[in-house]
């Protein structure tokens, strides 16, 4: 199975963003994860379109944008223009997930749906044909540096089985508390794409941190 590492710039030193993203790229990172927080859906504020635009100039890697915001539909056009490659929003933030997934695809981006730890996965079946990516939150969103919730492993496994049964050919991404100690467990449960903030940008050697996360996955297959 593919292993894709998506370092989250939430944990980067923003004064050295270009340099640190370059180091992650050197280490073999496949995507760059960008956490957008609005202070309402989650109790924290982070970045918006200007940072996505800046990242688009810094790197050629796909920008994997994660919206932790209310009314995600109001950002689709602007973030497409800013250079997002994929746009993932939280299922809990809207009653119209299908409509917004379709709108994201129409704008040429990968359409993703994120589930909070307490959100049951069955709703994925209702939008199976509109999904390019499923993001399983392995912490409650809002902050970097939290611990992986142990219950997430069984949920990843259930979602992988559901994807198999319903023939959903999407990426299965996990986000929150992914470290050298937890990545193999999430991978073993069926995740193929791994967001890592602190574990990458908190390391002294960023490129080596990306390589080590990949090794930790592959050593357990």
CB of 201 to ligand DX5, least distance (A): 8
Alpha carbons 209 and 213: distance in angstroms, whole number: 6
Sites for Zn ion among residues 162-221 (CB under 5 A): 175
- β-bridge pairing 110-115 and 133-137: parallel
Instruction: List helix spans (H) across the chain.
Output: 17-26, 49-58, 76-82, 97-106, 152-165, 183-189, 198-201, 206-218
Say if residue 136 is exposed, middle or buried (CB neighbours under 10 Å; 0-12, 13-18, 19+): buried
| Nearer to ligand DX5 among residue 33 and residue 100 (C-beta) | 33
Q: Which does 196 bind (CB under 5 to 8 A by kind): ligand DX5, Zn ion, none?
A: ligand DX5
Q: How many CB atoms lie within 10 A of CB 117?
A: 15
Q: Which of 12, 27, 62, 66 binds Zn ion (CB under 5 A)?
A: 66
Q: Binds 76, which of Zn ion, ligand DX5, none (CB < 5 to 8 A, cut-off by type)? A: none
| DSSP-assigned beta bridge partners for residue 34 | 65
64 makes contact with Zn ion (CB under 5 A): no
List the catalytic residue out of 64, 130, 132, 175. 175
Q: Restricting to residues 44-103, name those near ligand DX5 by CB under 6 A.
A: 66
Instruction: Write out the catalytic residue numbers.
Output: 35, 175
**Binding residues for Zn ion, per CB under 5 A?**
35, 66, 175
């Amino acid at each position: 199975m593919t292993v894709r590492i998506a370092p989250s710039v939430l944990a980067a030193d923003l004064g050295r963003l270009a340099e640190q993203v370059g180091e992650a790229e050197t280490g073999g990172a496949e995507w760059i994860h960008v956490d957008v927080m609005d202070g309402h859906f989650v109790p924290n504020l982070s970045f918006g379109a200007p940072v996505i635009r800046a990242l688009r100039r810094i790197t050629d890697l796909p920008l994997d944008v994660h919206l932790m915001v209310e009314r995600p539909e109001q950002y689709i056009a602007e973030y497409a223009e800013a250079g997002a490659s994929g746009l993932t929003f939280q299922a809990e933030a809207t009653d119209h997930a299908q409509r917004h997934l379709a709108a994201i695809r129409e704008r040429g981006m990968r359409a993703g749906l994120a589930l909070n730890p307490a959100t049951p996965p069955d709703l994925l079946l209702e939008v199976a044909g509109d999904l390019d990516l499923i993001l399983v939150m392995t912490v409650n969103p809002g902050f970097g540096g939290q611990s992986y919730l142990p219950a997430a492993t069984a949920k990843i496994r259930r979602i992988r089985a559901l994807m198999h049964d319903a023939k959903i050919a999407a990426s299965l991404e996990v986000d929150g508390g992914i470290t050298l100690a937890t990545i193999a467990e999430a991978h073993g449960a069926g995740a193929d794409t791994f967001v890592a903030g602190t574990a990458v940008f908190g390391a002294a050697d960023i490129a080596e941190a990306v390589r080590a996360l990949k090794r930790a996955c592959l050593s357990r297959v």
